Amino acid sequence: MSENNPTFVLSPGPHLHTEESTSKIMWWVNGSLAPAVLWGVFVFGFNAALVVLASIAGAVLTEFASQKALGRRPTLTDGSAVCTGLLLALTVNPNLPAWQAFLGAMFAIGLGKMIFGGLGFNLFNPALLGRAFLMATFPLNMTSGWAMPRPWFGAPLDAVTTATPLAVLKEQGIEAAVQLVTSPAGLWNALALGFRPGSIGEVSLVLVALGGGILLARRIITLAIPLSVLAGVALSTLHTGVPLLHLMSGGLWIGAFYMATDYVTSPSTTRAQIAFGLLIGLLTGIIRVYGGYPEGICYAILIANAMAPALDLWFRPRRAAIAGSPS
């Protein structure tokens, strides 16, 4: 083409760019999780730290090996593999053997992400696929032997194991669940601050909410999905008489703010996001109340992931029709 003629460059989208990048977003997500991670390690002890490190290592090494095998440039610096390993670690039993966390992270990256083509192409949340794999493969270690956290700063770690509040609620009723989580700080403070048995990253709602607030302030996520998830759980557990206990127990908040809001596996329009969040919340409540499993947020999100393309189609924006113009 001559120098007098303009040069056109054809390339696939996106064509509009901002200062935010995938790498920057992923590292902000990782950083926002740091308070919950540190608290989980403090209250549950050394093995929780091993689980976190093993899960991150499994995710990073599997992504590196997969990219090498496919002849692709390694992209570990974008933080997505670290994020997957970190989120997986935060959703498992703090007493889980570290090698099992490593194996779960390998599954999450290998069969939950790279097999679909890598970042941006996965159909389901990789961390939750890893958790589902661990639940199916090591159900005893994933669902029993939960550690009691330290009751206050400086207290030695309690080696006694117990069940989670949701498990006790399902099997023994509300009084036993209240007795389990009641601490010197009081029932609701124990639930909010993290003085209760549970997964590594789910125990402190305050710190999870703090991390979610950071993501909201950075405009990495919006409130459409998290609030819809919480509303769905409230609606589906209202008849139990203890909806607040359901809202403050389990991995609900970390699932609502960090798992359900995953860009790749959630809808892109606001109305579809609201429907997506409500579906997750309703399914979580149904599984908890009527299913044999005391939790539910993991499988609810995975089911909703499969619905995300349909929700975007059903709630797609309508183009305004101008009178007299062709349709």
Q: Is residue 221 domain-resident?
A: yes
265 DSSP 8-state letter: T
Q: How many percent of the chain have pLDDT more than 90? A: 50
| Per-residue confidence (pLDDT) for residue 42, from 0 to 100 | 85
Q: Is residue 237 domain-resident?
A: yes
Looking at the fold, whether 135 and 183 belong to one and the same domain comes out as no
Q: Is residue 185 domain-resident?
A: yes
Spatial distance between the Cα atoms of 93 and 6, rounded to a whole number of angstroms: 61
274, amino acid identity: I
Looking at the fold, whether 229 and 281 belong to one and the same domain comes out as yes
Which uninterrupted H or E stretch holds 146? strand 146-147
Mean pLDDT for 80-97 is 93
What pLDDT band is residue 293 in, cutting at 50, 70 and 90? confident
Q: How many percent of the chain have pLDDT more than 70? A: 76
Looking at the fold, whether 302 and 200 belong to one and the same domain comes out as yes
pLDDT of 152 higher than 60: no
| Per-residue confidence (pLDDT) for residue 171, from 0 to 100 | 59
Looking at the fold, whether 75 and 200 belong to one and the same domain comes out as no
Mean pLDDT for 26-32 is 94
Q: Which of 23-37, 141-155, 231-245 has the lowest mean pLDDT?
A: 141-155
**In 194-255, alpha helices (H):** 205-217, 224-237, 243-247, 252-254
Looking at the fold, whether 85 and 184 belong to one and the same domain comes out as no
pLDDT of 278 higher than 90: yes
Q: What is the pLDDT of residues 229-268, one digit of tens each?
A: 999 999 999 988 888 888 888 789 999 999 999 999 999 9
Looking at the fold, whether 215 and 139 belong to one and the same domain comes out as no
Looking at the fold, whether 138 and 197 belong to one and the same domain comes out as no
Q: Which domain covers residue 202, as residue numbers?
A: 177-314
Mean pLDDT for 18-29 is 83
pLDDT of 210 higher than 60: yes
pLDDT of 270 higher than 70: yes
Task: Using the 3D structure, point to which of 85, 119, 143 is the last residue of a domain.
Answer: 143
| Per-residue confidence (pLDDT) for residue 159, from 0 to 100 | 46
pLDDT of 325 higher than 90: no
In this prediction the pTM is: 0.85
Looking at the fold, whether 134 and 182 belong to one and the same domain comes out as no
Q: Is residue 11 domain-resident?
A: no
Looking at the fold, whether 272 and 189 belong to one and the same domain comes out as yes
pLDDT of 193 higher than 60: yes
Mean pLDDT for 203-208 is 84
Could you tell me the sign of the dihedral formed by the alpha carbons of 72, 75, 81, 82, in that order? positive
Could you tell me the sign of the dihedral formed by the alpha carbons of 241, 243, 248, 251, in that order? positive
| Per-residue confidence (pLDDT) for residue 316, from 0 to 100 | 85
Looking at the fold, whether 121 and 187 belong to one and the same domain comes out as no
Is residue 237 within 8 Å of 243, Cβ to Cβ?
Answer: yes
HSE (side-chain half, CA atoms, 13 Å) at 174:
8
**In 70-158, alpha helices (H):** 80-90, 98-110, 126-137, 139-143
Q: How many CB atoms lie within 10 A of CB 266?
A: 24
Looking at the fold, whether 196 and 119 belong to one and the same domain comes out as no
Could you tell me the sign of the dihedral formed by the alpha carbons of 194, 199, 205, 209, in that order? positive
Q: Please state the φ and ψ torsions of residue 310, each to the nearest 5 degrees.
A: -65, -40
> For the chain, what is the domain count?
2
Is residue 288 within 8 Å of 296, Cβ to Cβ?
Answer: yes
Residues sharing a CB contact under 8 Å with residue 96, sequence separation 6 or more, in sequence order: 47, 51, 134, 138, 141, 142
Looking at the fold, whether 134 and 201 belong to one and the same domain comes out as no
Spatial distance between the Cα atoms of 55 and 86, rounded to a whole number of angstroms: 7
pLDDT of 91 higher than 80: yes
